Amino acid sequence: MGASYAELSGHVLWILSVPWLFGAGTSVVASGMLGIGQHKRVVPFALAEGLGNLVLSIVLVKPMGILGVAWGTAFQTWL
């Protein structure tokens, strides 16, 4: 990789760190549901999250490049 990727990877990491501030609540709920054996209720939301992330990544990669994929992942996590 080398030093030429340092600035871009720093931006990507910064963008991806933003949802961590807001994602704790949903993580606690999902972990609690899994802990009490309610896997079937969590699966549709996990699938929707994954598909939403894929769609946003595909839509944003063309106009914004790798930063668009990072913003798509960050935005999808907030929903």
pLDDT at 14: 92
In the chain, DSSP finds a helix count (H) and a strand count (E) of: 4, 0
pLDDT at 79: 63
pLDDT at 61: 94
* Nearest C-alpha neighbor of 52 from the set 29, 30, 27, 78: 78
Task: Please write down the long-range contacts of 46-55, taking CB distance under 8 Å and 24 or more positions apart.
Answer: 49/76, 49/77, 52/76, 52/79
Q: Please report, in tens digits, the pLDDT of each residue of the chain (79 residues total).
A: 678 888 899 999 999 988 877 777 777 888 888 889 888 888 888 899 889 989 999 999 999 999 999 999 888 776 6
pLDDT at 59: 94
Q: Report CA Rg, the chain.
A: 15
pLDDT at 78: 67
